Amino acid sequence: MSGTINALAAKSVEITERNSAVITLEELGGSSIEYSSERKKTLRARYLYGIIFLLTNLGAWFVRDYGQRVLSRLPYIKACGFEGDDCFHTVGVLRVSLGCFIFFLFMFSTTVKTRKLYEARNTWHSGWWALKSFLLSVAIVAPFFLPADFIQLYGEVARIGAGIFLLLQLVSVIQFITWWNDYWMPDVKRKQSCAMGLFTSTLFYIASICGIGVMYSLYCPKTSCTLNIFFITWTAILLVVMMVVSLHSKVNRGLLSSGIMASYIVFLCWSAIRSEPAIKECNHQRQSDGHNDWTTILSFLIAICAIVMATFSTGIDSQSFQFRKDDAQLEDDIPYSYGFFHLIFSLGAMYFAMLFISWNLNSSTRTWSIDVGWASTWVKIINEWFAATIYLWKLISPVVRQSKIMDNREPIQQI
């Protein structure tokens, strides 16, 4: 009898263990599906924020070029001044930029420490769009009630913020170039040869050399164009320096990364020269008659899309700015840093304001123009030089650290 009771008890324990195991597996499967759903929501949210940023850019353009003409019959508030002059054109762009900055700075402050998908801040980041639309509307409208002096002060701060944005964008671009170079490097384990990398690097160098030649022919028709000659010649020198350093025996990074970087700085140089004011002697492609053809409008729209893409790509690239790399990611971890994402978008709001007003707080820009003027030219040229400097430092810094380590080891060995 006791044996039968023990057998029944053992059977019940076994059934209980099986049921608990099934329940545990079901719970794990359910949580896995839930985390996967939350992850998809957060990834979709990135694009919604990008659309918001794009619409804000278009709103700033409308306020700058057509706001006063279309909204001329509306009663202006006191902060807008006489006939609304302080709410349109350059100051209007700064007001829209300030609203966008406030919105994304608020999103940064509410999501900065989010780590897991099950946190309430994750739901706030990827949901509640009706409430966030209301907050965005309030943030955009509120700066139009602020005095013009405060907006001018924000413009000075926006210059600094836009500069920080450019530096972060440079780091992100250089990290991408490094990753691309490492991906195409020859690898014995993956049985990957260097043929494709060599072919790609050759294409980039040919494109860079051709670009320099085209810039000389288009923008240096006379010897009096000394500034353009200096810009292009210095870019060519940087190209050669990067190639030589990259091929040095102690660096040995190959030609691919330096070739991509060469194309990038040639593009920055071309963009800087294109931003010069209309000068017939040295920039004959620019039209100074004030009429806008389809190429001007298309270039403007492409420039706006480039601003949004640059902000978006930098915002999702938080790993390039981590001092400690952690490859292990758990299932319930967020796919990207929400705080960094919103911080980049807030700096991007300052950046697009500077492009729309050509980095000049007291100038009036031509309709359908963007980032044109001597201030814009010098910002891009300095950005090019910074890019080359950061890239060169990234190449030689491992060699410098290694030499310091060897110098510290020698006294220890002598002791």
- Residue 395: which pLDDT band, with cuts at 50, 70 and 90? confident
Neighbours of 346 (CB within 10 A): 23
Collect all residues with Cβ–Cβ distance below 8 Å to 229 and sequence separation of at least 6: 216, 220, 223
Does residue 159 have a pLDDT over 50?
yes
Q: Which residue intervals of 127-147 are DSSP H helices?
A: 129-141
pTM of the model: 0.80
Contact 345, 313 (CB under 8 A): no
Q: How far is CA 175 from CA 267, 309, 319, 395, in A?
A: 18, 17, 10, 12
What sign results for the dihedral spanned by CA atoms 100, 106, 108, 110? negative
Does residue 231 have a pLDDT over 80?
yes
Neighbours of 185 (CB within 10 A): 14
Q: What is the pLDDT of residues 196-225, one digit of tens each?
A: 777 888 899 999 999 999 999 988 888 888
Q: What is the pLDDT of residues 138-148, one digit of tens each?
A: 999 999 888 88
Which among 99, 46, 94, 91 has a CA at the least distance from the CA of 311?
46
Distance CA 165, CA 379 (A): 12
Q: What is the pLDDT of residues 234-243, one digit of tens each?
A: 999 999 999 9
Distance CA 391, CA 274 (A): 24
Collect all residues with Cβ–Cβ distance below 8 Å to 342 and sequence separation of at least 6: 49, 104, 105, 107, 108, 111, 112, 315
- Most confident listed range (60-64, 317-321, 344-348): 344-348
